Chains A and B, each alone.
Chain A
Amino acid sequence: MTLTRRAAVQAMAALGATPGADAGAPAPGPTPRNVVVVGAHPDDPETGVGGTAKRLADLGHRVTFLYLTKGEAGIPGVAPLVAGRRREEEALAACKVLGTTAVFAGQIDAATHSDDAARQDFRLKLESLHPDLVFAHWPLDIMRDHRVSAELVLDIWSHRRGAFSLLFFEVLSGFQTQTFSPDVYVDITSVLEAKRLSVFAHASQDPGGQWEHHQVMHRMRGLETLTAAAEAFVHHRASPTTDLLVGLAPRPR
């Protein structure tokens, strides 16, 4: 007997799970949990995890966007410090829309690094947030800052294996994220407008272009799970599974 992907997805959905999610795990309890999304620049957490972050925040969980830099190099022709200040304001506005908290790790856009001092500094910042679940950039990415960001998280995770669940997210797949094959999906249909507003809060970053590309990604991940719009992630299989996303899994319609 051949089991098609569609049949498998429908069967798993009937059990309240998506491929890679934890079937049968309990729904989020009354105690808020700490979720941290580590992004290299303002707008990375929003485009990669914005919908999921909004849904988790709506459930009462504490969601922090930990930005490695303020995007100092991201506005052509604008001085780095001025650009960083503007993009910090954009990030704060985006977080307000999503119900998340912005924290800035203090590195500088296009000059990120992962030497011993940087790893120690970043470890203190991430651990101070006591994360139960961390979202990190997928390490195969054409942008160096994204790779450095992923490396910093992986370094902490490797030394504190088991301390938190680790999922990887995609941004501008094809252009930036490469060879991403997700196994965890979250239905973001109900929060798509909030995600759009958070992306458009980054007015300096061609939000229309970013949104157009991510809408294709939302649709593609939605088609993979028979729902309208989804975000998708890769679970680091050696990290603890998380029950936080089970209730957010797509229900094929």
Chain B
Amino acid sequence: MGGFGDQVLAQARVGSEDAEEADQVDAGRGHEGGEAAEEFEGLEDELRLAGRVQLAYERGLIVAALDSSKGNQSEAARLLDMSRATLQDKIRKYGLNHDPELEPEG
């Protein structure tokens, strides 16, 4: 596992946080008004889009690791440089535990 992977995964993790922030921004909607609110909405859209893209990217990396490890979660966690527990959380988060194409082989 090289530094390159760590960097991009770190970005993916930041993306998750961005998405959460975007959700928080979304929750605060309605308390602003006027031009400032319009600008804020534009930023909100950008944040939401960036968060979605990066979440999709992280999901893709996890699927690729599971595919490469033939569904072995310990091996996939090693490839992604994260703990098995974190990986399992993310598998649940992305609904991958219900994906028949990603069933562990054993």
Contacts and interface: CB of A to CB of B under 8 A. Distances in A.
Interface of A: 72-83, 85, 107-111, 117, 144
30 contacts: A72-B60, A72-B68, A73-B64, A73-B67, A75-B68, A78-B79, A79-B1, A79-B79, A79-B81, A80-B5, A80-B64, A80-B65, A81-B4, A81-B5, A81-B8, A81-B9, A82-B2, A82-B4, A82-B5, A83-B68, A108-B57, A108-B63, A109-B64, A109-B67, A110-B63, A110-B68, A111-B60, A111-B61, A111-B63, A117-B52
A105 B42 CA distance: 26
Contacts of B61: 72, 80-81, 108, 111
B45 to A, nearest CB: 14
Which of under 10, 10 to 19, 20 to 34, or 35 or more describes the interface residues of B?
20 to 34
Contacts, number: 67
A109 B63 CA distance: 8
Given A79-B79, A81-B61, A108-B60, A73 B68 contact: yes
Given A77-B75, A79-B79, A144-B101, A110 B64 contact: yes
A122 B57 CA distance: 15
B88 interface: no
B64 A72 contact: yes
Contacts of B63: 73, 108, 110-111
Contacts of A81: 4-5, 8-9, 61
A24 B83 CA distance: 64
Which of B4, B52, B81 has most chain A Cβ within 10 Å? B4
Interface in B57-106: 57, 59-61, 63-70, 75, 79-81, 101
A144 B99 CA distance: 14
Given A76-B68, A81-B8, A82-B5, 6 more contacts: A72-B60, A73-B65, A77-B75, A79-B2, A79-B65, A80-B79
